[in-house]
Structure 1
Amino acid sequence: MDWSDLPIFLEVARAQQLGRAAASLGVDATTVGRRLRRLETAVGQRLFEQGPDGQILTSAGEDLLARATAMAAIASDIRTPPAGRTEVDGTIRVSVAEGFGTWFVSRHLGTLAQAHPKLAVDLVATSGFLNPTRRETDVAVLLARPRRGPLRTRKLTDYTLRLYASAEHLAAHGPVHGIADLRDRRMIGYVPDIVYAPELRYLDEIPGVRDPVLRSSSINAQAHMIASGAGIGVLPCFIGEAYPGLVAILPDIRISRAFWLVTHQDTGRFDAIRAFTDWLVALVGRERAVLAPD
């Protein structure tokens, strides 16, 4: 028996409908049905019958409900901190895009540490992501919404990208008034054949722009090249506006993307993980103007 199926069973028993249970759990009804069938196979008996208004417990289901409820109560006692202790502790791993981790999350983590001094956070900010489905990470901030897996997913925030150049580059090569002015400029971007997500193909959305000739898999390396005067490139505004000496050009060209907040459905309610996700959701709400400036 997969013990992670028991919370699914308990929620269906409470809600008495697959759809309502799925909505409460943050998964689709197909997943709930599949997990119930797996549980029924494991115990060797039908647990629900389909009634006119939803799912009705069988006698075997009633028996399992009593046992599972007792187990849930024990688990709740284990999770409940001793009287007088409210601190969140433990260690969580968070996987985020390199730029978002370097230029946004890491700059604010001190406020989380102040609020939860016993919470340890491993911030994995790389080109590519760890997989919450395979339990490689507790929390992931992804560029696209996952289409499958036992996950809890929500849109974290939209963010905006623009073209940037250094003040020195513009002084040396002249201002940029339109796309035509970019045809003779050196462009900076990702290495085309190792772009780890299609959402990173920013330059494809700007018609008439030359292919980049200075390329890196790292958005931080691209930002450094742009700041050095080596050329022009696309950066998230939360990087471009924070980098000294960078100037946004062609204000009519704006590229929109989104970050998605993802946890595993079996662990997303753990206190440490909820403390981090609640903090991050509140943070992006306060910093909306930095992430998606008008």
Structure 2
Amino acid sequence: MQHLDWNDLHDFLTVARAGQIARAAAQLGVDATTVGRRLRRLEARLGRTLFEQTREGQVLTEAGETLLAQVEAMQRAADRIEARPDSGALSGLLRVSVSEGFGTWLVAEHLPAFAAAHPGLTIDLVASSGFLSPSKREADVAVLLARPAQGPVVASKLADYALHLYASADYVARTGAPTRETLATRHKLVGYIPDLLYAPELRYLREVDPALAPQLRSSSIAAQARLIAGGAGVGVLPHFIAGRDPALVRVVPEVTIARAFFLVTHRDTRQLRRVRAFRAWLVELVTRHRAALIGGEG
């Protein structure tokens, strides 16, 4: 057997976990052609076919499943070596997956201080509509809207947060203050696109009233906040977003929607020094900003 390149094995591992070459390439920061070429090189050196191409992406063959178990064992061994305590500075790549709102309005604002304290780290903040999976090792740390039901992960509640109904002051002056009874009949509603929801916890309007349906819809909470602030209608926003925007006023004040964030890491990598450091920093961050999250003053 020819000498195997660890980089090829790492690419194989990424594709196996992602299920698609294109998705794996995005995680690796290279183009899909490069990943495909490396996989073919690995298969040629092993003399085995590792993946079958399907409509959905790449599916492991029996030989691929066998290799995956071996490469994951190698990765865990490498992680354990890195996890040994020492006095050196943190280094390497830290990938963090968070929701768009939490990542943009809270984490990103304060992350420069953490990055400055650990200049040897490369930090990927994936703040988007959807989450990377710690159980598949797509992310080192994830902040999710629900505790995972299964998988090789460790999860704990990070923070509670509150959401309310908001509109712009101009909208309220133009249409009158919404009430629970008039939301469905007299007001335009802003919310998520139902078939593009990435988590059931985002069905906010249904929790207010099952009959409510948004007329202006976006997969982005940032876009929804801009639409509401611009006078487009009434919508549900987290207090940590809307509470700092002077263009927004809370309406239907008796409505409060409670949610929670959960901090999730893979059980094999949660003791890595960079992961431990970020977890501690994030817990301290939400503790300091608890009032902004739950809707109090401060």
Do they fold alike, i.e. is TM over 0.5?
yes
| In the alignment, structure 1 residue 125 sits paired with structure 2 residue 108 | no
Select the residue among 192, 212, 235 that pairs with 1:210.
212
Tell me, in whole angstroms, the C-alpha distance in 1 between the residues paired with 2:119 and 2:138.
Answer: 24
Q: Is the 8 A contact 2:140 2:265 kept in 1?
A: yes
The one-letter amino acid paired with 2:181 is A
Give how far 1:207 is off. Answer: 2.3
**Cα shift readout 1:163-211 (whole Å, capped 9, x = no counterpart):** 01011111211223x2123230000011112211110000011127631
The one-letter amino acid paired with 1:173 is T
Gaps of 5+ in 2: 1-68, 70-76
The one-letter amino acid paired with 2:106 is F
Q: Which has the larger radius of gyration?
A: 1
| In the alignment, structure 1 residue 241 sits paired with structure 2 residue 243 | yes
Q: Is the 8 A contact 1:93 1:123 kept in 2?
A: yes
Q: CA, structure 1 residues 148+86, in 2 after alignment: closer, same or farther (shift >3 Å)?
A: same
**SS of the residue 1:179 aligns to:** coil
**SS of the residue 2:143 aligns to:** strand
Task: State the partner residue of 1:137.
Answer: 139
The one-letter amino acid paired with 1:140 is A
Task: State the partner residue of 2:289.
Answer: 287
**Cα shift readout 1:112-149 (whole Å, capped 9, x = no counterpart):** 12322222210001111001111111111000000111
Q: CA, structure 1 residues 217+78, in 2 after alignment: closer, same or farther (shift >3 Å)?
A: closer
The one-letter amino acid paired with 1:139 is V
Task: State the partner residue of 2:262.
Answer: 260
Give how far 1:80 is off. Answer: 4.0
Tell me, in whole angstroms, the C-alpha distance in 2 between the residues paired with 1:217 and 1:241.
Answer: 21
Q: Is the 8 A contact 2:191 2:224 kept in 1?
A: yes
Q: Is the 8 A contact 1:153 1:262 kept in 2?
A: yes
Moved over 3 A (4+): 75-81
Q: Is the 8 A contact 2:83 2:272 kept in 1?
A: no
Q: What TM-score does the superposition give when structure 2 sets the normalisation length?
A: 0.69
Q: Is the 8 A contact 1:133 1:150 kept in 2?
A: yes
Alignment RMSD: 2.0
What count of residue pairs does the alignment treat as equivalent? Answer: 218
Tell me, in whole angstroms, the C-alpha distance in 2 between the residues paired with 1:78 and 1:271.
Answer: 6
Q: Is the 8 A contact 1:179 1:209 kept in 2?
A: no
Q: CA, structure 1 residues 111+283, in 2 after alignment: closer, same or farther (shift >3 Å)?
A: same
Identity %: 54
Moved more, 254-263 or 190-199: 190-199
The one-letter amino acid paired with 1:122 is D
Q: Is the 8 A contact 2:83 2:271 kept in 1?
A: no
Tell me, in whole angstroms, the C-alpha distance in 2 between the residues paired with 1:160 and 1:77.
Answer: 38
Tell me, in whole angstroms, the C-alpha distance in 2 between the residues paired with 1:281 and 1:77.
Answer: 23
Q: What TM-score does the superposition give when structure 1 sets the normalisation length?
A: 0.70
**SS of the residue 2:182 aligns to:** helix
**SS of the residue 1:168 aligns to:** helix
